[in-house]
Structure 1
Amino acid sequence: MNVIFSTHPLHPKASDMLSGAGRLVIASGPEPATLLKEGKGADIVIVRAPLPPEFFDEAATLRAAVRHGAGLDMIPYEAATRAGVLIANVPGVNARTVAEHVIYVTLSLLRRFRLMDRDLRQNGWNAGREHANSANELSGRTIGIVGMGNVGRSIHQIARHGFGLDVVANSRNITNFPPDVRAMTLDELVEIADVLVLCCPLTAVTTGLMNADRIGRMKPGAILVNVSRGPVVDDAALIAALEEGRIAGAALDVFSTQPLPLDHPYFRFDNVIVTPHQAGITEESMMRMGTGAASEAIRVLGGEMPINLRNPEVVDHYRRRFAAR
């Protein structure tokens, strides 16, 4: 029987889909040593935690690593490709989910929700209400989007057509920009944006993208929102800017170290919203990601190529391994 190994539990609909395709095994924990031990002999791995490169050593039966979501940084690309393992993902299914999160945390910062809620509970009605005098509206502002993939385009749709924001963007590919988005260099964008949203993939180029120089170019009243990956932001530079009051605040869903230690400096700031890498997670998005990953797993086990194959150069090697057509 085929073994489908998942680093985390799946949505019930996804588990039901896989019940006829093989034996579903859920890892007891996301630690590399646990994944290496419990993932031996798998035919498919569904990925929600970083896989160590060694996972692909002597993986004679492993056909595909299927990302439960879009970002591929959890799958060691070179190790998987060298081993003749297909890589697939489920792009776009939680783009709207992430976009809603971006608007939600931005509004929370502008309307001083954390401070208002705390003071209302601790100090009474008037103390909470006083924060309204310093609150700001979202409409009439400029949002800068770094990365115009599925998430970036969803943010644009809500920001522009829901709130009437001026949208500027920076991306590797500007050919698919909506007509009402102005393309800018990153250095131009950081200077003009009232809300700066990072939703780009983590690459060698984007690591440290928001460094001290670029954070220093941001407007004093600007907000930084990161829903990409933690290393895209230079933590020390952002913390310094927050301590010195050089930007208005930040909303961070991803971090260079995850889980984020409870003594991390980000927890000290009232104008920082910290969330545990959950911008793309809702009951609905978990269903879409899970069933999407299950569909790709079933497709591969049935002898077909994934719809969202991300390492096409591996196909010849893969076919030699399994004599697949």
Structure 2
Amino acid sequence: MAKYKVVITDHEYKSIENERRILEPLGVDLQDYQYRDAENILRVAKDADAIIVQYAKMPRELVEQLDRCRIIARYATGFDGIDLDACTDKGIYFCNVSDYCREEVSTHALALLLEMARRVGRYNSWTHSGRWYSMPGIQHSLRNQVIGVISFGRIARSFIDKVKPLCDNIWVNDKYVSEKDMLEYGVVPKSLEEIYENADYISVHCPLTEETRHMFSRETFRKMKNSAVLINVSRGPVVSEEDLCEALDEGQIGGAALDVLETEPPSPDHPLFRYDNVVITPHTAWYSEESQAVLQSTPAEDIARVLRGERPLNVVNKEIFDRLD
């Protein structure tokens, strides 16, 4: 009989052999499901010692009904949809995968920036349609453009490192980082208002919180240059898509490049698909074979630590340490 029960509520991977390799030697019965609704999750995980989620949400009313759970781990960096206070109150660690795709996401953001600046995809479509000269639109050298970066975390800094050889004007806003640290890194600290009003490109790397939800809304778009481009590789709900469509319709901004949307997958008739000046990729900024291996292994490794009586490494609700010590 298995010593522990670990439930995977949902995932999009072809195999969970990495997780089995890590957990089964500890006497774990690893149960693999595709449930995102609270009713089914509670049915299969009420007595679980640990839970791994990907897209499933863990609200307080669900967390409070877990009888034995000691850790919830997520196949992601973000923790939106997880009630961290409820986890702490229940004595449950919540762990994410804090640094598995820094290079991938920052490179993807750079690719989106370059696509919007150089229009390679549009030129390709233009020539494939039998045309050669005079594709509509204008382009500017990135060298003297202003690139605004929202956040100064690890992915944002990796993006900045990639952009520095291409652009002399990188402005950054992150209220949790000192201006001194930003200046020493070779970027210019600016207020959000200054970035909104003056940046030619704004690349968003902040987490989704109540404060950042719909950070880019009608009010924000009205402050931006009518040639400015928004790049979002963070979380979809940071941008109000309804307000973005309005801004595009009214020519308030120059375009957008998005790897994330408010609802995924979007419907085939999503209004953003009708714009030629919008690039959308299917939430793939994180992906490489190497990053996926880390993404799948890290939650299982933290669960293994907890089952062995050790502290997990990637704890988000750090207040739990005071409760458990």
**So what's the TM-score if we normalise by structure 2?**
0.88
Match of 1:41 in 2: 47
Alignment counterpart, residue 168 of structure 1, candidates 168, 171, 190 = 171
For residue 153 of structure 2, what is the amino acid of its counterpart? G
Where in structure 2 are the equivalents of 1:216-231 lying within 5 Å? 216-231=222-237
Matched, 1:140 2:147: no
2:260, 2:97 → 1: CA distance?
20
User: Following TM superposition, by how much is the alpha carbon of 1:249 offset from its aligned partner in structure 2, in angstroms?
Assistant: 1.0
Label 1:265 to 1:299 Cα distance change in 2 as closer, same or farther (>3 A). same
Where in structure 2 are the equivalents of 1:250-289 lying within 5 Å? 250-289=256-295
1:44, 1:196 → 2: CA distance?
39
CA contact (8 A) 1:140 1:164 kept: yes
CA contact (8 A) 1:144 1:189 kept: yes
Where in structure 2 are the equivalents of 1:158-237 lying within 5 Å? 158-160=162-164, 162-175=165-178, 176-177=181-182, 178-237=184-243
Match of 2:155 in 1: 151
More off after superposition, 234-243 vs 94-103: 234-243
User: Following TM superposition, by how much is the alpha carbon of 1:165 offset from its aligned partner in structure 2, in angstroms?
Assistant: 4.1
User: Following TM superposition, by how much is the alpha carbon of 1:30 offset from its aligned partner in structure 2, in angstroms?
Assistant: 3.3
User: Following TM superposition, by how much is the alpha carbon of 1:196 offset from its aligned partner in structure 2, in angstroms?
Assistant: 0.1
Identity %: 31
More off after superposition, 184-193 vs 171-180: 171-180
Match of 1:115 in 2: 122
For residue 157 of structure 1, what is the amino acid of its counterpart? D
What SS does the aligned partner of 1:93 have?
coil
Label 1:135 to 1:63 Cα distance change in 2 as closer, same or farther (>3 A). same
User: Following TM superposition, by how much is the alpha carbon of 1:245 offset from its aligned partner in structure 2, in angstroms?
Assistant: 2.4
Alignment counterpart, residue 88 of structure 2, candidates 71, 81, 86 = 81
What SS does the aligned partner of 1:143 have?
strand
Matched, 1:18 2:20: no
1:52, 1:307 → 2: CA distance?
21
CA shift digits 1:258-315 (9 cap, x unpaired): 2222222101111111122222122221112222222211111111111222223324
For residue 111 of structure 1, what is the amino acid of its counterpart? R
CA RMSD of aligned residues (A): 2.3
Match of 1:5 in 2: 7
Alignment counterpart, residue 63 of structure 2, candidates 56, 67, 81 = 56
5+ unaligned residues in a row in structure 1: which ranges? Answer: 320-325
2:195, 2:41 → 1: CA distance?
41
Label 1:19 to 1:117 Cα distance change in 2 as closer, same or farther (>3 A). farther
For residue 25 of structure 2, what is the amino acid of its counterpart? G
1:273, 1:312 → 2: CA distance?
38
Match of 2:310 in 1: 304
5+ unaligned residues in a row in structure 2: which ranges? Answer: none
Matched, 1:313 2:319: yes
**So what's the TM-score if we normalise by structure 1?**
0.88
What SS does the aligned partner of 1:168 have?
strand
What SS does the aligned partner of 2:319 have?
helix
What SS does the aligned partner of 1:167 have?
strand
User: Following TM superposition, by how much is the alpha carbon of 1:217 offset from its aligned partner in structure 2, in angstroms?
Assistant: 1.8
CA shift digits 1:83-106 (9 cap, x unpaired): 221112221221221111101112
Where in structure 2 are the equivalents of 1:65-76 lying within 5 Å? 65-76=72-83
Alignment counterpart, residue 107 of structure 2, candidates 55, 77, 100 = 100
What SS does the aligned partner of 1:19 have?
helix
1:316, 1:106 → 2: CA distance?
43
More off after superposition, 4-13 vs 267-276: 4-13
For residue 167 of structure 1, what is the amino acid of its counterpart? I
Label 1:262 to 1:165 Cα distance change in 2 as closer, same or farther (>3 A). farther
1:96, 1:314 → 2: CA distance?
30
CA shift digits 1:5-27 (9 cap, x unpaired): 22214664344223323222222
